Structure 1
Amino acid sequence: MFSKACQYGIRSVIYIWKQSLHGNKVGAKEISEHVDAPEAFTAKILQDLVRKKIIGSLKGPTGGFYVGKEHEIYTLKDLVIAIDGDQMFTGCSLGLNQCSESNPCPLHSEIVIVRKQVVQMLTKKSLKQLAEEVESGETVLARFT
Structure 2
Amino acid sequence: MKHIYLNDSSPTGNSSMQLTRAADYAVRVMVHLATMPSESRVLLPALAKATAAPESFLSKVLQALTRAELISSRRGKRGGFAILDRGRAANMREVIESIDGPICLNVCLNGGKECERKSWCPAHPVWARAQRAMIDVLMSVTVSSMAANRGPVAPSESPNGS
TM-score normalised over the length of structure 1: 0.79
> Partner of 1:33 in structure 2?
49
Corresponding residue pairs, total: 136
Which of 67, 91, 101 matches 1:85?
Answer: 101
> Partner of 2:79 in structure 1?
63
Greater share of helix: 1
SS in 2 for 1:111: helix
- Determine the C-alpha separation between the residues in 1 that align with 2:62 and 2:21: 14
- Determine the C-alpha separation between the residues in 2 that align with 1:77 and 1:65: 21
- State the shift of 1:107 in Å: 2.4
> Partner of 2:28 in structure 1?
11
SS in 1 for 2:78: coil
SS in 2 for 1:14: helix
Unaligned runs of 5+ in 2: 1-17, 155-162
How big is each residue's C-alpha offset from its partner over 1:88-139, in whole Å with a ceiling of 9 and x where there is no partner?
A: 2684269xx53179546552111111112111211112111111211xx3xx
How big is each residue's C-alpha offset from its partner over 1:71-100, in whole Å with a ceiling of 9 and x where there is no partner?
A: 333111001111111042684269xx5317
* 1:35-54 map, 5 Å: 35-54=51-70
Query: Cα RMSD (Å) of the superposition?
Result: 2.8
- State the shift of 1:54 in Å: 1.6
* Percent identity over paired residues: 23
Query: Judging changes above 3 Å, is the alpha-carbon distance between structure 1 residues 70 and 39 closer, same or farther for their aligned structure 2 residues?
Result: same
- Contact 1:12–1:31 under 8 Å retained in 2: yes
TM-score normalised over the length of structure 2: 0.72
Unaligned runs of 5+ in 1: none
> Partner of 2:143 in structure 1?
127
- State the shift of 1:68 in Å: 3.2
How big is each residue's C-alpha offset from its partner over 1:20-66, in whole Å with a ceiling of 9 and x where there is no partner?
A: x3542111111111111111100111011101112111221111111
- Contact 2:34–2:88 under 8 Å retained in 1: no
- Determine the C-alpha separation between the residues in 2 that align with 1:66 and 1:11: 14
